[in-house]
Structures are given as structure tokens and as C-alpha cells.
């Protein structure tokens, strides 16, 4: 069996002395893993850094086998990110998110597209930790939707109102308005406005952190606990980095 696709590197780990196990997100084959011959050599290892875009060919005798990758570098953002700790922390977080949530070999082109856009955002001049965190929360909303756990943030669960939605019910995953939620606000999750708007550019650090806490709650309950993994360490480090920018 053989296929070709574009791939964005999520991780690459040592396999034996000189080889590597490469993990990529692709538009047509989802999250995919494969063996790379001499993947830990100096030349090849540089091409397998997280965030790099590759053209990959995967081959295996049987569909369910690990298979072998041949990979050609298309674009690397690392040169624009490596000197910026905040950008590298954000990159690690988004890669860890996708590794920990996306089923292997299950097509999710919208998640690939979101990852592609996120990398372009990290490469662009300017930008803030709050912006990257807000965008990550938006990606996580899409992951929840793609896995069948989408949140209903369009109308109030209690009244049907479309305005002043500032809470989310942890039980139903539905939005709740300020008025309807006031008596129960201590039991509800905060809903930052950027998650119900078309842009994240105006989100501050506090709203961004609230967004990550919201999506993290539902990812923990529906995905990470089920998978037995828990929240990825890289995501937690990014949250801590964001929290320091709130002081």
C-alpha cells in the first residue's frame, strides 16, 4: 500500500540508533505515523522538526502496519520562530494538542487547515501570546466539533436568547446568558466573547486563558481522560506562560 500527501510535522522521535518515528498531520490521511530510515542523521533530523511542512510518501505491505515514510522538506518556519520562546511554546502546544486528540489515520482536513493557519500566524511579524492562545482555543473548539463533542455557543440553553452569552454549562456544553446564569455563576464556565465572534484579534490575555480553560475542560472530560493521557505538558506550559503575561 502507498499514498502521498502533504504533512506538517507533529513530532519525531528516535527509533533505534539512527532511525526515527515521524508523526505528521495531513489533510487527506489525518494524523499518520511512520518509520524514517536514518531519521536521526544531522541532515534528515533538521527536516523533521515540529512545524515543518513536508511532502510525504508512506509505504507498507499492510494497511495496519507502521509503514515507512519518505519525506521531502517543503517549508520550515523554524528559522523565524527559534529565537522567540513564546512562539516556540505555542508551537509545542498546538502540536501536542493534535497528537493527544486526533485519532490516527482518520481524515480531519479542517484540523489540518487550522494547524496550517496557526503556523502562518506564528511566522507573521507582530502577534502576541494572547492572540496565539486565543487561536489555539479556537482550534480546540474545532477539534471538539470534529470528534463529535461540539459545544453549542449560539443561544442560551435556558432562554434561547442570542445576546450577552457569558457562561457555558459544564454538563450540557451549551451557552448561558448573563441573566439566566447569574444564580448559578459559581457552577458555570466562563465564555469569552472571542469564542462566539469571527475574530480573535481583540482577545486579551484573561479572555484567552478563559478560552483555554473552557476548551480544556471539555477535552479533558471527553478525550484526554478517555485516552488515559491527561492534558499534554506542552499545553500546560503554554497556559503558564500566558498566565505570567496577565501580571
Q: What is the pLDDT of residue 202?
A: 67
Query: Would you mind telling me the total number of residues written for the chain in this entry?
Result: 247
pLDDT of 37: 94
**b/e string for 127-152 if b means 16 or more Cβ within 10 A?**
bbbbbbbbbbbbbbbbbbebbeeebe
**What confidence category does residue 16 fall into, taking pLDDT thresholds of 50, 70 and 90?**
confident
- Nearest CA to 119 out of 168, 165, 51, 166 is that of 51
Question: How sure is the predictor about 198, in pLDDT bands with cuts at 50, 70 and 90?
Answer: confident
Give the pLDDT band of residue 25 (cuts 50, 70, 90): very high
Mean pLDDT of 210-214: 97
pLDDT band at 244 (very low <50, low <70, confident <90, very high): confident
Whether the CB-CB separation of 10 and 99 falls below 8 Å is answered with yes
Residues 6 or more apart whose CB falls under 8 angstroms from that of 19 comprise 35, 36, 37, 38, 39, 40
The Cα 146–Cα 244 span in angstroms is 31
More confident residue, 65 or 224: 224
pLDDT tens for residues 34-83? Answer: 999 999 998 899 999 999 999 999 998 887 788 999 999 999 999 999 99
Average pLDDT over residues 179-199: 93
Q: What is the pLDDT of residues 154-185, one digit of tens each?
A: 999 999 999 999 999 999 999 999 999 999 99
pLDDT tens per residue across span 78-134: 999 999 999 999 999 999 999 999 999 999 999 999 999 999 999 998 889 999 999
Using CA atoms, how far apart are residues 112 and 118, in angstroms rounded to an integer? 10
The pLDDT value recorded for residue 247 is 54
Has this prediction a pTM greater than 0.85?
yes
Amino acid at each position: 500500500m502507498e499514498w502521498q500527501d502533504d504533512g506538517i510535522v507533529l513530532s519525531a522521535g528516535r527509533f533505534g540508533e539512527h532511525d526515527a518515528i515521524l508523526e505528521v498531520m495531513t489533510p487527506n490521511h489525518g494524523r499518520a505515523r511512520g518509520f524514517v530510515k536514518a531519521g536521526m542523521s544531522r541532515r534528515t533530523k533538521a527536516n523533521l522538526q515540529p512545524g515543518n511542512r513536508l511532502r510525504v510518501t508512506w509505504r507498507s505491505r499492510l494497511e495496519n502496519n507502521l509503514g515507512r515514510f519518505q519525506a521531502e522538506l517543503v517549508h520550515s518556519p523554524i528559522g523565524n520562530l527559534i529565537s522567540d520562546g513564546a512562539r516556540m511554546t505555542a508551537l509545542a502546544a498546538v502540536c501536542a494538542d493534535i497528537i493527544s486528540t486526533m485519532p490516527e489515520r482518520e481524515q480531519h482536513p479542517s484540523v489540518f487547515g487550522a494547524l496550517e493557519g496557526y503556523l502562518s500566524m506564528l511566522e507573521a511579524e507582530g502577534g502576541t501570546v494572547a492572540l496565539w492562545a486565543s487561536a489555539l482555543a479556537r482550534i480546540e473548539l474545532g477539534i471538539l466539533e470534529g470528534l463529535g463533542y461540539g459545544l453549542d455557543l449560539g443561544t442560551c440553553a435556558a432562554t434561547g436568547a442570542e445576546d450577552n452569552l457569558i457562561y457555558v454549562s459544564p454538563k450540557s456544553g451549551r451557552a448561558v446568558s448573563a441573566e439566566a446564569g447569574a444564580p448559578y455563576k459559581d457552577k458555570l464556565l466562563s465564555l469569552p466573547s472571542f469564542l462566539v465572534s469571527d475574530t480573535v484579534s481583540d482577545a486579551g490575555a484573561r479572555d484567552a486563558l478563559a478560552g483555554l480553560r473552557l476548551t480544556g475542560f471539555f477535552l479533558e472530560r471527553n478525550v484526554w481522560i478517555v485516552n488515559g493521557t491527561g492534558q499534554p505538558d506542552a499545553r500546560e506550559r503554554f497556559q503558564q506562560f500566558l498566565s505570567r503575561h496577565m501580571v
